[in-house]
Amino acid sequence: MDELTRRVYGADHDDPGPEPGCDYVDLVAGPLDGLLLNVTGWTGERLRETAILSTEIGRHGPGGHTMYGPRPGDPAHWDWRGDTP
């Protein structure tokens, strides 16, 4: 899939695509598989941590969260770590 047609986590449904000049990582597996996460301005330390993202489509439904973290050796892809309430 062309990156310009990819959806960004948390983006407005009317304008879901990536913005020029922003940095993104690919979310892999889990409920947000295939989405891009905007990490523009994140520090190196923050980019090494697990991100906890709100989602209604995870194991815990509305109000739940899902966790993604950088893939060892491939920081452009963040793998699903599981869901949490």
**Token pair of 41 as six digits:** 């301005």
C-alpha–C-alpha distance, residues 60 and 41, integer Å: 30
DSSP 2-18: -GGG--BTT--TTS-SP
* Domain limits for position 44: 3-84
CA 6 and chain centroid, separation = 12
What is the pLDDT averaged over residues 62-72? 95
Stretch (H or E) spanning 79: strand 74-84
Q: Is pLDDT above 80 for 2?
A: no
C-alpha–C-alpha distance, residues 37 and 11, integer Å: 10
- Give tens-digit pLDDT for 6-59: 899 988 888 778 999 999 999 999 999 999 999 999 999 999 999 999 998 878
Q: How many domains does the chain have?
A: 1
